[in-house]
Each structure stands twice: as C-alpha cells, then as structure tokens.
Structure 1
Amino acid sequence: MELSDRKRRILRAIVDDYIRTAEPVGSSYILNRHKLGISSATIRNEMAELEGTGYLDKPHTSAGRVPSSLGYRVYVDELMQRYTLTVREIEEMRASLKKSYLELGNILKDISNTVAHLTNYTTLISTPCVATNILKSIRLVPLDEKSFVMLVVNSGGIVKNTTITAKGGVDAKVLERLGNYLNLTFCDREVGAITNEFILAQKEIMPLPDEIMNPVMGFLSEVLQDFTGFDISADGQANILNYPEFKDVNRTKEFFDFVRNIDKNFLKEKIADDKINILIGDENPHLKDLGLSMVISNYKIKDGMIGGIAIVGPTRMDYSKVVATLDYLKKNLDKYLDGTDTR
C-alpha cells in the first residue's frame, strides 16, 4: 500500500515518540506535540487505517498505538531523519580509534565499549578475517642456547608469536634450516587448505627432536585455527536494563542468552554485505519474539581484512543515531589504524 503524505507524517511522529517514551502514542499526544495542522479526529482515522494495513499495533490495555515491524521498516527505509553525531560523540570515537599503539584486539574492544556507551545499547564486535587468507611467513629467532621465538604472519598482517624452550639446547643453524623448511612447505598456501594431517606428515620428514618439533608444529596448528576463526565479543549488555520492555526477568534472561549464543555464521553472512543492514524484530528468525532489532555493519582494514560490528537493542531503538554511529566507524576505522588520519 502506498502511504499518503499525511499518513507518512503521522507514522513518523508515532515511531519517533515511541522510541523516545516507550509508551503507546495517542492522537491527542500527536496533535499537541507535532502540530501537523489536522484535527484529532483526522489523526484517529488515519491511525486506524495505519493499524488496519499493518503499520501500527494497538496494545490491549491502551488507546494508543505502537509501531509494528512493518511500520519500523518503512520508518528506517523512508521516513527517519538523519542523525548528526555531536562533537563530543565524534571525539569519544576518535579517542578510541587513535590508540594505534594498542594491539588490534584491544583497539576493537575499546571501540566496542565506546559505542555501547554512546548508544546505550549492546555492541557485538568480531575479530577481522581476510577474504584471501594466505600464510606469508614463519620465522624462528634464537633467544639463547635453549630458547627461540616463533613468529607466524598471514596475508592480513596478523602476527602470532610464542617462545619455545628446548632443554637439550637449540643450534642457530638448525633453527635456520628448520625455518627455511617451514617457509618452503607451508608459506604461500591458503590457510584453510593446511590441514592437521598435512602438518603431522611434514613433522615426520624433518629429523629433529620431539622437544623442538612438537611445540613448533603444535603452535603452527593453533595459529592456523586462529587465522580462520571468527570471534565475537559483547559490551554493554547491562544497557538493556534501562528499557522498561526488559524489566521482566524472563525476557531479560532471553536477551542475555541471545547475546551469549549469537550465531556466528549468521553475523558473518550479514557483514559480507557492504551496506549497513537493519534487522527489525519479527522480520528475522534470529530476533523473532525477542522484541529486539539489530543494526549490522562491516568494517574493513588493511589487506582486505573484514570484520563486523552490530548494535542490538529494543525494537524501538534510535535507528538514526545507531546508523550514524556505524557509518562513522565504517568510514574512519581504517584511516586511524593505518595512520592516514592523524587529527
């Protein structure tokens, strides 16, 4: 159904007010607050038609209306006004982004905390992975006669390292030969194609003591799993308690269970899309019956690495502010991490 301009203005007013108050919106409230230039009776008639066509719902205990999933969808796609981040909000995000001296995982954690604080919702953020994940380099660096550092690097520039100690001692020339062998055998291969069986087979070829080969091959296997992993962390879960819809203990428990057990494949599939995705309540089976919406964006950093950030909140979340926040991160994260934005 094509909505008239009047219906669109009324629907936008109802969604805006419901986001702000969490209370069903009546015609008299719209009349007094929004000055639409039409009578209360006309507003009531239009609201009744919006309800009849599925854009509004009417709670049993109230004369007012609340948006339906369809109403929210029209609102986020066509009606909501673009939110402009304040100077303070931008500065808080810049402060997180500019901590380039930190390890990437800590930077992402700091960003996640900041976004949860600014939006007052829950933030989910994933570690980045690369579209083409190639093992690029393995180095064995002697520390002393009995220990050495093993460094493994992938095509995304992620470095993993560990210190290995061999009680029987380690000869520098032996380490050099082993490093050359590992690079020749494993590097320039797709990470996902290097199986544990292949690693074990190569271990048998190199005639070195188990006290060296076991930790070397064990760490390599562990690192390869990390490189192909997709970990998700959450911040701001307690923010949900600020919303009256989640005062019920059982509903709050469902929310925490949802966040804790988020489907990684579902999130990974969504961030493959380069646009900001808005998932509203009953439209999505993962959110159905939870009274939740989720806004998801990817972020991209050097060498094709891609990760995801999602904001989860009640269906009446402030979509405009959430979209503006994710849009800022999407456009600026890479600049701060590679040093091209030094403001």
Structure 2
Amino acid sequence: MNSSDWMNERKLNILRAVINDYIMTAEPIGSRTIARKHELGLSSATIRNEMADLEEMGYLAQPHTSAGRIPSVKGYRLYVDHLIRLTELTLEEVISIRNAISEQAFELNRLMRHVTSILSEATGYISIATIPKMNQNKIKAVQVLPVEPGKLLVVSVAEGGIVRNRLVRISVTPDPNFVQKVSRVLNSKISGLNMNEINLEVIRGIKEDIQVPDSMLMPILDAVYDCIGSIDSNEAYVDGTVNLLGYPEFHDPVRVRELFRLLDEENNIQQLLNRDETNSTNVTISIGTENRLEQARDSTVVSTSCPMGDSMMSSIGIIGPTRMDYSRVISIMKLDRRLFKNEFEKLYNGNNSEET
C-alpha cells in the first residue's frame, strides 16, 4: 500500500467505514454509528480514539465540535487508491447500458452525445466528453442536395462517421443534373483527402470539370471547406447538469453558478479532462483541490480516455461532489469506455466487430 503501510489495519477499516457511510448519508459520521453498523469488533470509545487520530493525521475532518467526522481530500485519496472495493454491476445494468450505447450510433458526434447522456443518467452526476482535433481526418463523401429554389444543402462525411452540413444560398435554381454532377466531381476530387491536401490545384481541377460560373460554384466550395474545418475542430459535450441540484453540496446557488459557467467554456472541459495518455487504459480521479481549475475544487472529476483508431483519443468524464459513489462510477466508466471503443470501431471500420 506504500503510503498506507504505516497505518494499522484497524485505522484503515475505520476510515473505509466512515467514507462509505458518508457517501451514502452526506452526514458527519460518529463513532457510535460505526460501532453499530460495522462488525469491526471494536468499542465505540476505541473507534472514537482512532477517528481522532485519523483527524490529526489529516484523513478526516470535524466540521463542528459536537459533530462526527467527514473525509478530507487526503482521506478520499487514500480510499480510492487503496481501500475501495469496486461495485460489480448487475447483468441487467450491463445489458441496459450496452443496448443504450449501441442505439443510434450512426456518426461520431451522435455517438458521443449518446454516451454522455447515458453516463450522466447511469451515475446521477454531470458527464463531460471531448473529441480531439482531427486535422488528418480524411473525407469519405460529399453530397450536394437541393432543398428549395435558391438553396442547396452540402453534406460532408469524414472517417469515423463524422457528419457536417451547411446550407448554401445561390442566385439561381440549378437543375437536378447540375446538382448530381457537382456531387460526383467533388467526390472524385476530394474523397480520401484531408483538409491540408485540398489545395489550389484540387480546386482548379474541380472548376475545370464542373464548368460553371464562380458565382454558382464558390458558395458550394466554401460550404465544403467550412464543413471540413468544423470536422477538424475540437468538440466538447456536457450532459446532466441538473443532476447536481439534488445533492446537498450543491444547494449553494453561487457554487452551482460558478460550476455551470465553468462548463460553458470548451477549453475548461479540455482542462478538466486533461490526462496522461500513456495511461490511457486507466481511470483518473481528481478530488477537490487536486483539480486544476478553481471552480472545480469542491468537486471530483473521474475521467478516462477512449481509443479512436490507432493514434487518436477522446476523453469522457464525470463531475460530482467529492462525496461521490466512487466504486459505482469507476465500474460504469470502465464499461462505457469499452463499449465506446466497440461502437467507434464499427463507425470507423464499417464492421460489426466487438470487443469482449
């Protein structure tokens, strides 16, 4: 146990009991409660003395003189690193989450929104996620569709099932043959290219093949380029913000407002999920003051990375009170990571392979 080797088993068992009870009740825990609920073979007086020692050592805190104890950040850290016993999800829960994630996974953005929604619902906390910048992502297909007179819809599909579309206004109403020709030429010229490879030579070749005035073609090309540019930008997702209002730690409107403002900025979400990708298979837990951002220092962030092909990683995470049900959240996070990987591989490879 390294940092906890010098602590005796009795203190560790009491600390685990205090944290488990506090997670469930949100009320300071007294020695009598521990003696009554847990079969530790210790008297209330002995437990009280051990809790006083744990407080002096920095693992517990006493919010009021007459109250019981609550865990400190140091106590939670020891708990999640050495004392936690992970919840084993029921078969029904696993099947429910698996079925929910596999639904409607037609493209990456929809899949990520779906995953964050399921994660917040399954844990009862806020879920956040990011997709990294993908400036080497290749275009798979471009389609131009007539919408109404003077309007066209440009749809771009990239690797990984990422879809973007833009509405284009042109001065004339093109005939269907023109629209089909534009789609055919665009696919022949830019399918398989990334944004950096669509240069002036490629654009010149498109113009030569389509043979229409720039006033008609350039709005379409601008829309295609805009779609590709948005594919290559970072994406951030947030779901379940209302969940935190049910926890007593978040009854303070000022605290809630600061956290919600934090989540309004994509860069902040990136920082909350900023991880060491060399440990991509692990779940990372940042508790209270361990978080980089001031507004998150009363909360816990649990995150993990999700592989996207051979070299890219997205990240998903949970934000909740430091009094988080760590055991259940970690189990759900590991399951979601594995299921996301399966669904991404289906989108990216166009097959139905599944990791067991």
**TM surpasses 0.5:** yes
Q: Compared with structure 1, are the counterparts of its residues 156 and 23 closer, same or farther at alpha carbon in structure 2 (3 Å cutoff)? A: same
Using structure 1 for the length normalisation, give the TM-score: 0.82
Query: Structure 1 CA distance, aligned partners of 2:164 and 2:321?
Result: 39
Q: Is the 8 A contact 2:31 2:44 kept in 1?
A: yes
What's the CA shift string for 1:19-59, capped at 9, x where partnerless? 11111111111111112112222222221221112111111
Query: Which residue does 1:318 correspond to in 2?
Result: 325
1:133, 1:156 within 8 Å by CA — same for their partners in 2? no
Task: Note the 1:110-149 alignment, pairs <5 A.
Answer: 110-126=114-130, 128-129=131-132, 133-137=136-140, 139=142
Give the corresponding residue for 1:6: 10
Q: 1:49 to 1:35 in 2, by over 3 A?
A: same
Which secondary structure state, in structure 1, belongs to the residue aligned with residue 275 of structure 2? helix
SS of the residue 1:270 aligns to? coil
Aligned counterpart in structure 1 of residue 28 of structure 2, from 24, 28, 42 = 24
Q: Which runs of 5+ in 2 are unaligned?
A: 347-351
- The alignment status of 1:15 with 2:28, answered yes or no, reads no
Contact 2:23/2:324 (8 A) holds in 1: yes
- SS of the equivalent of 2:68 reads coil
Overall identity of the aligned pairs, in %: 31
Cα deviation code 1:314-336 (max 9, x no counterpart): 00100110110010011122324
Q: Relative to 1, partners in 2 of residues 1:310 and 1:26: Cα closer, same or farther, differing over 3 Å?
A: same
Q: Taking structure 1 as reference, are residues 151 and 302 closer, same or farther at Cα in structure 2, changes over 3 Å only?
A: farther
2:332 alignment partner, SS class: helix
Q: Shift in Å at residue 78 of structure 1?
A: 0.6
- Residue 70 (str. 1) matches residue 74 (str. 2): yes
User: What is the distance in 1 between the residues matched to 2:98 and 2:308?
Assistant: 16
For the aligned residue pairs, the C-alpha RMSD in angstroms reads 3.7
- Does the CA-based 8 Å contact 1:13-1:34 persist in structure 2? yes
Partner of 1:329 in structure 2? 336
Offset from partner CA, 1:209-228 (integer Å, 9 cap, x none): 23333223322331232222
Counterpart-to-counterpart distance in 2, 1:264 and 1:47: 37
User: In the alignment, residue 7 of structure 1 is paired with which amino acid?
Assistant: K
- Point out the more displaced range, 4-13 or 60-69: 60-69
1:141 and 1:63 mapped to 2: Cα distance?
68
Question: Which deviates the most, 327-336 or 309-318?
Answer: 327-336
Counterpart of 1:309 in structure 2: which amino acid?
I
8 Å contact from structure 2 (residues 144, 152) kept in 1: yes
1:91, 1:60 → 2: CA distance? 45
1:340 aligns with 2:345: no
Q: Distance in 1 between matches of 2:313 and 2:150?
A: 39
Shift in Å, 1:107? 3.4
Secondary structure in structure 1 of the residue aligned to 2:224: helix
More displaced stretch, 333-342 vs 74-83: 333-342
Mapped partners of 1:143, 1:206: distance in 2: 20
Task: Please state how far the C-alpha of 1:258 moved relative to its aligned partner.
Answer: 2.5
- Please give the alpha-carbon distance, in whole angstroms, between the structure 1 residues aligned to 2:113 and 2:184: 39
| 2:248 paired residue number | 244
Q: SS in structure 2 opposite 1:94? A: helix
Question: Aligned partners of 2:123, 2:271: CA distance in 1, in Å?
Answer: 23
Whole-Å separation in 2 of the counterparts to 1:176 and 1:324: 46
For normalisation by structure 2, the TM-score amounts to 0.79
Q: Give 1:64-213 correspondences, 5 Å limit.
A: 64-100=68-104, 102-126=106-130, 128-129=131-132, 133-137=136-140, 139=142, 150=154, 152-161=156-165, 167=172, 169=174, 175=182, 179=186, 182-183=189-190, 188-189=193-194, 191=195, 193=196, 206=207, 208-213=212-217
SS in structure 2 opposite 1:234?
Answer: strand
Note closer, same or farther for the CA distance 1:279–1:69 as it changes in structure 2 (3 Å cut).
Answer: same
